[in-house]
Amino acid sequence: MPDINPASGFCPIEKAMGVVGSRNAMLTMREAFYGTTRFDDFTERVGMSAATAAANLKALTAAGLLERRPYQLHGARMRNEYVLTAAGTDLMPVLLGLFDWGAKHADGAAHLGLRHDDCGEAIEVQVTCAGGHRVRPEEVSITLIANKHKATGARSDHNDR
């Protein structure tokens, strides 16, 4: 693989973990997926303190995963709700991947499953390529991309630095 110095913060995984790398941040995103939008509901359903909820909602909003949207019901005062942005929705494969992994491997956690509304089948997260092939772990290479159109390839296998 190209010389991606991990310590330099270049790795996208690292960037992503900086945003949703804490338990409560990830669970906050989970709740956003489930449709939770209000402050107190996030607080209660994730099981975190109000201070943590405020901090996480603020950070996730600043990072562009959630959007703070004022709304007003009839006869009620103005309120804010937190809704998923496109960037937040893009995190779905990660959440579902974690869900799958946890359901399969964490003891005693196999109580929940995910289904496709339309057909009722179990949901799975797959790694594929644009060519439509199913990809196995050992078939993945990391490449440096100069821009949208050019890519400099390099095998990733077993050698860093």
Partner DNA sequence: AGGCTGACTTTAGTTAGTCAAAGTCAGAAA
Partner DNA sequence: TTTCTGACTTTGACTAACTAAAGTCAGCCT
Count of residues that bind DNA according to CB under 7 A: 26
Quote the tokens at residue 122. 């179990």
Which listed residue (5, 15, 16, 49) binds DNA by CB under 7 A? 49
Q: Which residues pair with 152 in a beta bridge?
A: 144
CB atoms within 10 A of CB 42: 24
Site for a second copy in 32-61 (CB under 8 A): 33-36, 41, 44-47
**What does 49 bind: DNA, a second copy, none (CB cut-off 5 to 8 Å by kind)?**
DNA
Please provide the size of the chain in residues. Answer: 161
- Each residue 141-160 as x (binds a second copy by CB under 8 A) or -, in order, gives xxxxxxx---x-x-xxxxxx
User: Which residues 6+ apart lie within 8 Å of 5 measured at CB?
Assistant: 161
Contact characters 61-100, DNA, x per CB under 7 A = --------------xxxxxxx-------------------
Q: Which burial class, exposed, middle or buried, applies to 22 when counting CB atoms under 10 A from its CB (0-12, 13-18, 19+)?
A: middle
**β partners of residue 134:** 128
Minimum CB distance to DNA, residue 159 (Å) = 13
Tell me which of a second copy, DNA, none is bound by residue 118, counting a contact when its beta carbon lies within the kind-specific cut-off of 5 to 8 angstroms: a second copy
Nearer to a second copy, 76 or 130 (CB): 130
Judge whether 27 and 46 are in contact, CB under 8 Å. yes
Binding site for DNA (CB under 7 A): 21-25, 38-40, 47-52, 54-58, 75-81
